[in-house]
């Protein structure tokens, strides 16, 4: 809780906000038996299957880290590798039926918890926050990594 009259600068506010969201991801992930990275992977794959290169760029992971994440997620039945119809030498990563169910549960619970972070704001303040953060995200060309809660569209 901020002290009366305390102001937080934009850098500290963004870093502390990221900390809050990461903590929600971690807590929600633990309750669903996922690491934060697996939770991110499932949320990204909810939109569509991805090639390994595109997936690595989206998640900002090195090739070896991504391969390990996909291998571990594949071993527990959450994702599968499938042939890329455009390039038979390449593979895409897709959710399995089990992965899709878990992704949906994780996503709904994570969205609920993240929405609670702004519970102290009125509707106009939430809209203003969304507009400003949206500009930061778009200006920095953040890839699609999360679906818009309740709207069925990807959030940049």
For position 6, what pLDDT does the model report?
Answer: 77
Return the percentage of the chain with pLDDT > 90, whole number: 76
pLDDT exceeds 80 at position 150: no
Q: At what angle are helices 36-45 and 52-59 packed, to 10 degrees? A: 120
Mean pLDDT of 127-137: 93
**Strand extents, DSSP E, the chain:** 50-51, 79-84, 87-95, 146-147, 154-155
Task: Among 17-31, 54-68, 137-151, name the one with the lowest average pLDDT.
Answer: 137-151
84 pLDDT band, cuts 50/70/90, is: confident
For position 3, what pLDDT does the model report?
Answer: 61
CB 139 within 8 A of CB 58: no
User: Distance from first CA to last CA of the chain, Å, rounded?
Assistant: 29
For position 66, what pLDDT does the model report?
Answer: 96
pLDDT exceeds 90 at position 51: yes
53 pLDDT band, cuts 50/70/90, is: very high
Domain annotation for the chain: domains and CATH numbers: 11-121 (1.10.10.10)
Q: What is the DSSP letter of 120?
A: T
Mean pLDDT score across all residues of the chain:
89
Residue 12 φ then ψ, to 5°: -60, -40
Looking at per-residue confidence, does 150 or 50 come out higher? 50
pLDDT exceeds 70 at position 22: yes
Q: Count CB atoms within 10 A of the CB of residue 97.
A: 9
């Amino acid at each position: 809780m901020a002290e009366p009259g305390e102001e937080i600068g934009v850098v500290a506010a963004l870093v502390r906000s990221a900390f809050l969201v990461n903590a929600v991801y971690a807590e929600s992930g633990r309750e669903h038996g996922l690491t934060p990275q697996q939770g991110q992977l499932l949320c990204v794959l909810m939109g569509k299957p991805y090639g390994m290169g595109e997936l690595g760029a989206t998640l900002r992971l090195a090739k070896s880290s991504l391969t390990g994440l996909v291998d571990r997620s594949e071993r527990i039945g959450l994702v599968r590798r499938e042939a890329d119809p455009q390039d038979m030498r390449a593979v895409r990563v897709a959710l399995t039926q089990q992965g899709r169910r878990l992704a949906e549960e994780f996503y709904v619970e994570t969205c609920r918890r993240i929405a609670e972070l702004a519970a102290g704001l009125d509707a106009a303040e939430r809209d203003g926050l969304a507009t400003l953060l949206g500009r930061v995200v778009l200006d920095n060309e953040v890839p699609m990594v999360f679906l818009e809660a309740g709207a069925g569209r990807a959030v940049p």
